[in-house]
Amino acid sequence: MTPKIKLLFVIENSCYGGGEKTFSLLIRNLPQDKFEIFCASLPRGRFYEETKEYCRFLPLDLTSKFNFSNIGRLKELLSSNAIDIAHSQGARADFYCALAAAKAGVKAVATVAMPVEGFDVCFVRKNVYKALNSFAAKKCAAAVTVTGELAGRLKGKYPLVKVIPNPVDLLEFSPSNFNAAPVIEKFGLRGKLVVGALGRLENQKGYTHLISALKLAFDKQPELKDRLKCLIAGSGSLEAKLKKQAEADGLSGSVVFCGEVGDPRDFLGAVDIFVMPSLQEGQPLALLEAMAMGKPVVASDIPGISGTAETGREALLVQPADAAALAAALLSVVEDMSTALGMGRSARTKAEKFGLPAYISGHETFYSGLLGGR
């Protein structure tokens, strides 16, 4: 009988983001008869609660910026548990994991959903991250990334780069599997046309351009202000600045900052048009989830989005940071909701190409190949 592959996932888990979500899907869905799964991270929060029954948790605190004792701690965990592959995600986790795996003689893999160059950090921190990442990449056996465009940017930095697109659970994110009533009641959405955005309130997400676009749209069609509401779900360092911008533009009653949402399905269920004005993306999970729920999309024409949703079919894509173009696209969709509904149906069909089974089998084959076909 072929022995199980011992697989250790390493992630910071200081919050629940795209990395935690994709690792959670892997941990919960990789076949238990082929893999023995471990996870080194903070043993608390949503990620922990979702995965604790599917793996053995090895407590690890990666939240300190520079704590090189984590290398020794990880090496000990790898050796004592006879791990075959250590799979990390996040710049800090990648650095510690790659060095520890090299010391333990274990194959290290890093998921790179967004290269360091796209991080929303200051110039000094970005350059520190780039240096550490470059050093760690040389210690890795391979990198997994989500698009061919990102794979091209990583080529030469890692010995092997494998493209496995991000997944969406089509059963969970179904056009009929949600309860939007609490969202509708909480934010007073009855009788309203709802535009929704979902993501961190950081510069990368481009929300300042969305607010500017809404002002332009209302200036052009003042009657729309009584009919349309924009929900922005998420938290981040720009929350106060964005609220101040919305107030200054006279949009306090039209733009609602919802904070973190517990269930994105119910939030998306309350939305008529999904908008993503991002400046940079890997392959956003929120986009895939909105598409799976049959929502028409208005978004930035950047590689991480245009490779997932085609303009004119599932989405209307505009140049990033162009508030006027974004306003025109939103008005175009609002004025022709029958076409928008068709875009939503096409979006659901396109999302089926990114189903969870392909994501799991892609990783299963990848892990086996790293170990010579075991």
Helix (H) or strand (E) holding 136: helix 123-137
23-48 residue pLDDT tens: 999 999 999 999 999 999 999 999 99
Query: What proportion of the chain, given as a percentage, has pLDDT over 70?
Result: 96
Whether the CA torsion 292, 294, 295, 300 is positive or negative: it is positive
Give the alpha-carbon dihedral of 9, 14, 17, 22, to 10 degrees.
10
What structural domains and CATH numbers belong to the chain? 5-167+355-370 (3.40.50.2000), 181-353 (3.40.50.2000)
Q: List the Cα angle 272/347/307 in 5-degree steps.
A: 120
142-192 residue pLDDT tens: 999 999 999 999 999 999 999 999 999 999 999 999 999 999 999 999 999
Q: How far apart (Å, rounded) are the C-alpha atoms in residues 296 and 303? A: 18
A 10 A CB-CB count for 128 gives: 16
Q: Supply the mean pLDDT for the chain.
A: 94
3-state class (DSSP) for residue 35: strand
Tokens coding 147: 């698009």
Predicted pLDDT at 66: 77
The string of DSSP codes covering 173-186 is S-TTS---HHHHHH
pLDDT < 70 regions, the chain: 115-126, 374
